[in-house]
Chains A and B, each alone.
Chain A
Amino acid sequence: MRELDYYAYHSRLRRFYPEQKVIFASMLLLTTLMTKSFLLFISVSVLTMYISILKGGMPMKLYLKLLGLPLGFLCISVLTLMVERAASREGLLLALQLQTIIIGISKEGLIKGSQLFLKAIACVNVLYFLCLSTPLNDILHVLQKAKLPQLLIEMMQLIYRFIFILMDMALTTQLAQASRLGYKDLKTGLRSMGQLLSTLLYRALKMNDKVYTALEARGYNGTLRVLSNEQYERLSLIKLVAIEVILIGVAILENLLIR
């Protein structure tokens, strides 16, 4: 978790307008979701990886590691979709017969499955482009400008702040436990984990009291006001539109070629 946030703040793309990045990412997501073109999925993936790694300065190794995160869900769901019951062995690439029941993967299933796989990977790449170039605070500013309810934005800001404090607490405690052999084997490890969770909740509520007192002493009346004086640069609109047009062109081209 640290990684995404850390690299978002240190990205070379951070200095650009967050609104533009959000819009660009949504455009990419939309085109990826709407089409069924293998070429488009691959080009979106390559494009966003290029932007994040070479333009944004994200280490390649770490990026690939991040990309591996959703693979578990993806593989299981895609496999679940591809393996189907069939009436006969005909047309199945891979079949398994259990007495009278035949299950297997058909050619259409395989194409559909791999399409979904690549599509999801492309979308995850786009999501990473946004996560790795725009810190959450910037995204919250965009949401604020989009006129979302004030209460919602404030809640998000508060949770975002608390997450890091609590996370720190949790990780420090876990490190302290580990350095005292608290995780030397499974049984001890699980005991330590239990201690950690209950302490964490207690401390969170305790800290809450202190934060509230501190805020009240400074005249807190229900809203936190934070200055934002970030200076942003503009991305060239022509480039963004050109990328979008090329991508759609790629999708149309593949459609024509297949026909």
Chain B
Amino acid sequence: MKNKVNKNLQILSVFCVMSGIATSSYGMHIMEGFLPPLWSLSWSVICIPFFIAGLLSMKKIINEDKKSKLILAMVGAFAFVLSALKVPSVTGSCSHATGVGLGAILFGPMVMAVIGAIVLLFQALLLAHGGITTLGANVFSMAIVGPIAAYGIYKLCRKLKAPQWLAVFMGAMLGDLLTYVTTSIQLSLAFPAEVGGVEASLIKFLGIFALTQLPLAISEGLLTVVVVNSLKKYSEQGLINLGRLSKEGKIC
């Protein structure tokens, strides 16, 4: 078992190097005041149905098992703390949606729309990552597109009889990547280029954001595998109780 733990740590180290390099140069939350008012408003409006569906689904989960309310809150707090922790030797903080991708695989994407929105609001108010006016756009890319993609890809891989670790990896990685693609699309829609319009602008943003985020996405996938594995181990040993999750056998 010790060897296994060591191996996990190695994977984690790789993750940290990669995310450190990527995030030291680029943050990916759209900052306060960056989007024109019309776009801020439209993205917020688009988020509302997902948000309400998330709230309803959350209510259902909590009614089934009261304890899951605290677990959900803990996942939110964990995602937040991850985004605020300093990665060694690289200045700046590593701010990404790791907990959100993980949560989508554990709890389903709908709930994560709500948790993600809360985490993003707190990041704006406590860390100055993102902003209030751009909350809608950030929620759409990070708490709606990302989790839905992660969950869908995870389920698809499981259907194709892929091993669980691969499914988790693919889900978390591609979900992460799609988040940045969405951010690029949002920025290019708001700021089309003089020559070439939205497309030219999209290529510029995709080039800068998505490509630099690729190593980060891979590392996020690795981290999620490590975390899901350790969760599984802990709950098999009876050290933690995941409530509804372990009953449904989603990960275990």
Give chain A's interface residues, CB within 8 Å of chain B.
Answer: 1, 4-5, 29-30, 32-34, 66, 69-70, 72-74, 76-77, 80-81, 83-87, 106, 108-109, 116, 119-124, 126-128, 130-131, 136, 139, 149, 151-152, 154-156, 158-160, 162-163, 165-167, 170, 174, 183, 185-187, 189-198, 200-202, 204-209, 211-212, 215, 220-222
Contacts and interface: CB of A to CB of B under 8 A. Distances in A.
Given A84-B193, A200-B81, A205 B71 contact: yes
A159 B80 contact: yes
Interface stretch (B55-63, B141-149, B158-166): B55-63
A151 B12 contact: no
Contact of A119 (B33, B81, B82): B33
SS class, residues of chain B in contact with chain A: helix
B8 A194 contact: yes
B131 interface: yes
B72 A155 contact: yes
Given A165-B77, A195-B9, A204-B74, 7 more contacts: A87-B195, A122-B33, A124-B128, A136-B126, A155-B72, A205-B234, A211-B70
A206 B80 contact: no
A206 B73 contact: no
Contacts of A149: 55
A209 to B, nearest CB: 6
A186 B132 CA distance: 36
B226 A198 contact: yes
Contacts of A187: 13
Interface in B59-104: 59, 62, 66-67, 69-74, 76-78, 80-82, 84-89, 92
B230 A4 contact: no
Given A162-B76, A208-B70, A127 B32 contact: yes
Interface residues of B, number: 83
Contacts of A155: 58, 69, 72-73, 76, 114-115, 118
Nearest to A87: B195
Interface string B103-132: 000000000001100110110111111011
Contact of B195 (A5, A80, A84, A160): A84
B80 A163 contact: yes
Interface string B1-19: 0000000111111011100
B77 to A, nearest CB: 4
16 contacts: A33-B37, A66-B128, A87-B195, A123-B34, A136-B122, A151-B55, A158-B76, A159-B80, A159-B115, A166-B74, A186-B17, A193-B85, A193-B88, A205-B240, A211-B70, A212-B67
